[in-house]
Structures are given as structure tokens and as C-alpha cells.
Amino acid sequence: MGTTQILFWFLTALALLGAIMVLVSKNPVHSVLWLIVVFFAISGHYILLNAQFLAIVNLIVYAGAIMVLFLFVIMLMNLNAETEPQKSIWMKFFGVATGGLLLSFFISFIVSSIDLKNKTAQLKEGDVGLIKNLGKVLFSDYVIPFEIASILFLSAMVGAVVIGKKD
């Protein structure tokens, strides 16, 4: 077993452990922190698949911006055990049973519809997910939509500052 496979299985175990801990954690802040661990593991998988751009965007957008937003919302809501309604054991049982049935349905659908025996992922070769190729296409073929989007983002930032500014 090569180092790539060992790293793949480590990242997979880390992602699964983090996802389980998101669900099991009693403290919502700890759940968000475990979700950040999951996003880091998924970014590691993207790097193994030679998709560096997706890995960086996943870290910046999801693990950075969206998780900070989640943390602010959770802290502003001041969630604690006294304010949350307690769920009965039957509600938890039916939730787990329904989730398990949905998961088994998805797995059976995927296994029956995709032939994975002759498919392999490119590792350490190819140039599909490289940032250099994305930059070349973005600044040659799609330069006008890129500039229009940048003007739109700039005007949205100026609008947010104007709206948020006090008189």
C-alpha cells in the first residue's frame, strides 16, 4: 500500500470521524469546529485528486467564511440546554431509522447505476484541476464575464458599506 493510499484512508477516516462528531457533539460550537475538520479532510481529498483550486476554495469559502458566519450566529443565538426543547427517545429513533433508510436507498441507487470496475481516478498526473489552466481560460476566453463579475462584487461591497454606515 503506497503513501497515497495511506493518506487517502487517513483523510477518509478523519472526515467520517469529524462528521460523526458533528452529529454527536452536545455543544453547537464544538459541532462547527468538527465541521471545519471535515472540510480540511475533504480539501485533502481534492489535493489527492489533483484539484488544487477546489481544495483552496473549499478552505477559504467553507472552512473560512461560512464557518465563521455559523460561529457568529450560534454565539449570538446563545443556545444552551435550558432553552432547547428536549426530544423524546422515539423521535431520535425514528430520525436515525429514516436517515439509515435514506442512506441505504442512496447507496443502492449509486451501486446499481454506476459501473466502477473499469474506472480509475487520475493521481499525480494530468492537468485537469490545476490553477494555472483555470487562470489561462479565465483571463483569455472569459475575461469579459470575469470583469463584469468583479464590477458587480465591487458595487455590492460599496453598497454594503453605504447601507451599514451610520449617519
Question: What mean pLDDT do residues 109-117 have?
Answer: 76
* pLDDT reported for residue 116: 63
Q: Are 18 and 32 in contact (CB under 8 A)?
A: no
- Work out the pLDDT band at 120, boundaries 50, 70, 90: low
DSSP one-letter code for 51: -
Contact indicator for 44, 7 with CB cutoff of 8 Å: yes
Residue 148: the pLDDT is 93
pLDDT band with cut points at 50, 70 and 90 for residue 125: low
106-131 average pLDDT score: 72
Q: What is the mean pLDDT of residues 128-137?
A: 76
Question: What is the pLDDT at residue 89?
Answer: 85
pLDDT band for position 122 (50/70/90)? low
Mean pLDDT of 109-138: 72
CATH of 3-129, one of 1.10.1060.10, 1.20.120.1200, 3.40.50.1370, 3.30.930.10: 1.20.120.1200
Structural domain spans, the chain? 3-129, 130-167
| 67-105 per-position pLDDT tens digit | 888 888 877 777 665 666 677 888 888 888 998 999 899
Alpha-carbon torsion (109, 111, 115, 120), positive or negative: positive
Q: Mean pLDDT across the chain, nearest whole number? A: 83
The whole-number average pLDDT for the span 15-24 is: 90
d(CA 14, CA 5): 14
